[in-house]
């Protein structure tokens, strides 16, 4: 794919990661608002990420903060407070 055809001058991978992270944010907010049990990694997996490291790296690049800091700022903590085996505070 020709990178010059992508919005905002993104590379193909950056464009796909931007779409995936934006989709993750929507899913996270919907699940938290509906009080459905979920984990951050489960939502990330639904957005196409196969590893937490890949998701974390893309999330930090897109959002400018860590996943934990962002979830705290959202004030909509997941009901299942674990992320890939690590507990959220």
| Structure confidence by residue, pLDDT tens digits, 22-79 | 999 999 999 988 988 999 999 999 999 999 999 999 999 999 999 999 998 887 555 5
pTM metric for this prediction:
0.77
Confidence of residue 10 (pLDDT cuts 50, 70, 90): confident
Name residue 87's beta-bridge partners. 82
How far is the first Cα of the chain from the last one, in angstroms, to the nearest whole number? 42
Q: Which of 50, 34, 4 is nearest to 20 (CA)?
A: 50
Work out the mean pLDDT of the chain and round it to a whole number.
Answer: 82
Residues 78, 71 contacting (CB under 8 angstroms)? yes
State residue 61's pLDDT score. Answer: 95
SS3 content of the chain, % helix, strand, coil (to 5): 60, 5, 35
Quote the percentage of the chain above a pLDDT of 70. 76
8 pLDDT higher than 60: yes
């Amino acid at each position: 794919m020709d990178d010059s055809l992508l919005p905002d001058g993104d590379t193909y991978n950056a464009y796909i990661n931007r779409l995936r992270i934006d989709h993750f944010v929507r899913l996270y907010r919907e699940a938290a608002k509906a009080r459905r049990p979920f984990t951050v990694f489960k939502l990330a997996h639904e957005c196409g990420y196969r590893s937490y490291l890949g998701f974390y790296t893309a999330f930090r690049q897109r959002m400018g903060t860590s996943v934990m800091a962002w979830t705290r700022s959202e004030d909509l903590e997941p009901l299942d407070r674990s992320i890939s085996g690590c507990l959220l505070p």
